[in-house]
Amino acid sequence: MADKSFTFEITSEISEPGGDRLGRSGVISTPHGEIKTPAFIPVGTKATVKSVLPESMKELGAQALLANAYHLYLQPGSDILDEAGGLSKFMNWDKPTFTDSGGFQVMSLGVGFKKVIAMDADTFRADDVIADKKERLAHVDDEGVTFKSHLDGSMHRFTPEVSMRVQHQIGADIIFAFDECTTLHNTRRYQEKSLERTRLWALRCLAEHQALTQSRIGKPYQALFGVLQGAQYEDLRRKAAKDLGTMENSGIEFDGFGIGGALDKSTLGTIVKWVNEELPRNKPRHLLGIGEPSDLFVGVENGADTFDCVAPSREARTSAVYTNTGRFNVSNGAFKRDFTPIEEGCGCYTCQNYTKAYLNHLFRGKEILAATLATIHNEYFIIKLVDDMRKAIDKQEFFEFKKDFLGRYQAGRSQNA
Ligand SMILES: [Zn+2]
């Protein structure tokens, strides 16, 4: 069995006179190196951050990357990553990697997520609104999920065991348990039923993970994170955190936790707080799919350690760039003759070497270099923002930093809008 070379240590905690704060800084150690937390983990869905070299991602400060098990299972096939020596070797990235379980993707398939999830026959009527007028592309039952490939329409089935096998073949340092992802539109009754299903799947994931860890001799240790669902309900969220936080099967526990599922902006902080009040303090917590500056502050403040999101790269490809004074579209006509960088003083490769006028020209000319340069700036910006939160926590200045940053960011945002 591989050495359990995965640890998490807390460095500092956010404290406030009379306050009871959950936020902290720390270090996650994996077989491919350390991640200082809080940290933003850029998404490389198909083992590539679109349009950017892995070397550039390293240079701009990424400590780890997250790929999607669902996409890599369909193409090129997780067996090919296994043969290549794992995700990190395959994509020439020698730092830590994460994969998500495929649960969110098999149930959402990337398009119209909140509209296409189909439910069991017996609950389908109550939750009919979700599949209304849309083709049902995934079917969930107690054993697993049957879904149609978005690539060629072929039928596939994911179970907790399949997800574990796929993620072991891909070989990321941090992998996630297979969960059912519900939406805010499901009925309370469905959420309860789904939460129990996810709990039973978590037990199966632990057993399969342990069997794979023991049988795949000589492979680097992979840490398994349990995923917490429960939508917007306090009792369900707290129950999920208690259940998975104390869960043990085949002699092992989860190495960390992912906070998943339906999270809307207005309740994000409250939900993260509920679960982190219940979870064991000494294990890392990953907030799935969150990357907007104000949401990152809320997540860090309430005790989330790592974050991933496609937004910085996806928005970059549409010419939307982040700055300390808000976001703007660099393809806007106003920047045609603007020979200054996206942001004065920004340390990224793009701002060090290129002007808004040049990016404006690339976007308008539909040149692929536009995506590369804009993505480098956005990923640098979001990674540095979370790095700066970590430094502020270590100096006990988190709230001053938050107030200062959001004051400028939001004021500029209304100006730019
Ligand atoms: Zn920049």
Instruction: Give residue-wise pLDDT tens across range 269-312.
Output: 999 999 999 999 999 999 999 999 999 999 999 999 999 999 99
- Cα(123) to centroid(ligand 1), Å: 49
- Cα(67) to centroid(ligand 1), Å: 24
Residues 81 and 146 in one domain: yes
Task: Give the number of domains in the chain.
Answer: 2
* Residue finishing a domain among 262, 288, 309: 309
Residues 219 and 285 in one domain: yes
Tell me what pLDDT residue 261 has: 85
- Cα(265) to centroid(ligand 1), Å: 27
In a domain, 188, yes or no: yes
CA triplet 98, 100, 106: central angle to 5 degrees?
Answer: 155
Residues 296 and 374 in one domain: no
In a domain, 169, yes or no: yes
Q: Among this protein's residues, is 308 annotated catalytic?
A: yes
Residues 298 and 344 in one domain: no
Residues 181 and 161 in one domain: yes
pTM for this model (two decimals): 0.93
Tell me what pLDDT residue 119 has: 41
Range of the domain at 91: 7-309
Choose the catalytic residue: 82, 100, 173, 179.
100
Residues 37 and 164 in one domain: yes
In a domain, 1, yes or no: no
Tell me what pLDDT residue 301 has: 96
* Residue finishing a domain among 279, 309, 339: 309
Residues 360 and 291 in one domain: no
Choose the catalytic residue: 173, 255, 295, 308.
308
Whole-number mean pLDDT of the chain? 91
Tell me what pLDDT residue 115 has: 36
Q: Among this protein's residues, is 100 annotated catalytic?
A: yes
In a domain, 218, yes or no: yes
Residues 354 and 211 in one domain: no
Tell me what pLDDT residue 138 has: 81
Q: What number is the average pLDDT over the span 379-406?
A: 97
Residues 330 and 275 in one domain: no
* Residue finishing a domain among 277, 309, 341: 309
pLDDT in tens, 105-123: 887 753 333 333 444 333 3
| CATH number of the domain within which 261 lies | 3.20.20.105
In a domain, 314, yes or no: no
In a domain, 397, yes or no: yes
In a domain, 229, yes or no: yes
Residues 255 and 370 in one domain: no
Tell me what pLDDT residue 80 has: 98
In a domain, 315, yes or no: no
- Cα(346) to centroid(ligand 1), Å: 5
- Cα(314) to centroid(ligand 1), Å: 16
- Cα(375) to centroid(ligand 1), Å: 9
Residues 372 and 257 in one domain: no
